[in-house]
C-alpha cells in the first residue's frame, strides 16, 4: 500500500469512513444515554485499547524492530498525553 500512489480522494474517503461512526455515535449518545450502554461502550473501548497495546508490544519486541520504531511509539504516546492535557 505504501508503494502505490494515492490521490486526494482516497484519504478523504477513508477519513470519512473512519470519522462517521464518531459523529453518529455522539448524536445518538446525546439523545439516549443509559448507564448500561455507557458501561458497555467503555468496555468495548478498553478492549480496543488493550488490543492496540498488545500489537505495539509485539512490534517493539520483534527481532527486526529497531530503536527508531520504539522511539516513534514513545513519542506518539507522549504527544497523545500532551494533547489530552491541552483539552482539559
For 39-75, what is each residue's pLDDT tens digit?
988 899 999 999 998 998 888 888 887 888 888 888 9
Mean pLDDT of the residues in the chain: 86
Q: What is the Cα–Cα distance from 17 to 4, expressed in whole angstroms?
A: 20
Q: What is the structure's pLDDT at 32?
A: 80
Q: What is the structure's pLDDT at 69?
A: 83
3-state secondary structure 19-69: HHHHHHHHHHHHHCCCHHHHHHHHHHHHHHHHHHHHHHHHHHHCCCCCHHH
In terms of Cα–Cα distance, which of 42, 64, 45 is closest to 53? Answer: 45
Q: Which pLDDT band, with edges at 50, 70 and 90, does 1 fall under?
A: low
Amino acid at each position: 500500500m505504501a508503494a502505490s500512489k494515492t490521490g486526494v480522494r482516497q484519504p478523504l474517503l477513508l477519513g470519512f469512513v473512519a470519522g462517521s461512526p464518531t459523529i453518529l455515535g455522539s448524536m445518538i449518545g446525546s439523545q439516549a444515554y443509559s448507564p448500561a450502554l455507557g458501561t458497555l461502550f467503555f468496555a468495548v473501548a478498553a478492549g480496543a485499547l488493550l488490543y492496540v497495546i498488545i500489537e505495539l508490544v509485539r512490534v517493539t519486541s520483534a527481532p527486526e524492530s529497531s530503536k527508531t520504531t520504539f522511539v516513534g511509539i514513545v513519542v506518539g504516546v507522549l504527544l497523545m498525553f500532551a494533547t489530552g492535557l491541552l483539552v482539559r
